[in-house]
């Protein structure tokens, strides 16, 4: 039994904003990280990509507050996945604090951690077959 997936145009504004910001942040993150780690460092590219990535991550985190799923335990409409919101925002603030203190290694480690945890790990869970993105992906290739 298959259920019809919502068309992209039928998504709620919160889901559409969250999806767009998260996908763009996942794609842009390596550019910001690479621009300072490559042999030919590109500080302008790093700064521009970094600010854009932070903006996308903040947008993704804040838009997540307006998304309420139907699975799992809930408290006032929020599930365990919503714990990533204050964590991601807090780590971004901490990263800028490190930067202002001149602690570049702390800044680098924190931003890498937010990217890995917020984009790669959390993003991987969205590809599970019961999730919207997973249904779109795996259903389009005929696996579910």
Tens-digit pLDDT profile for residues 56-105? 999 999 999 998 876 778 787 788 888 889 999 999 999 999 999 999 99
How much is the pTM? 0.84
Helix residue ranges per DSSP H, the chain: 13-37, 43-64, 84-101, 104-114, 122-125, 132-140
Which of 2, 17, 27, 18 is CA-nearest to residue 138?
2
Tens-digit pLDDT profile for residues 4-51? 555 666 788 999 999 999 999 999 999 999 887 766 678 899 999 999
């Amino acid at each position: 039994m298959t259920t019809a997936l919502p068309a992209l145009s039928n998504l709620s504004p919160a889901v559409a904003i969250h999806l767009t910001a998260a996908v763009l942040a996942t794609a842009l993150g390596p550019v910001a990280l690479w621009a300072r780690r490559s042999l030919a460092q590109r500080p302008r590219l790093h700064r521009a990509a970094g600010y854009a990535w932070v903006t996308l991550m903040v947008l993704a985190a804040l838009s997540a507050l307006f998304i309420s799923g139907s699975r799992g335990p809930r408290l006032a409409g929020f599930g365990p996945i919503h714990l990533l919101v204050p964590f991601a925002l807090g780590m971004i603030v901490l990263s800028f604090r490190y930067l202002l203190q001149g602690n570049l290694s702390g800044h680098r480690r924190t931003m890498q951690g937010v990217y890995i945890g917020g984009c790669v790990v959390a993003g991987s869970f969205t590809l599970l077959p019961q999730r919207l993105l997973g249904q779109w992906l795996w259903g389009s290739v005929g696996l579910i």
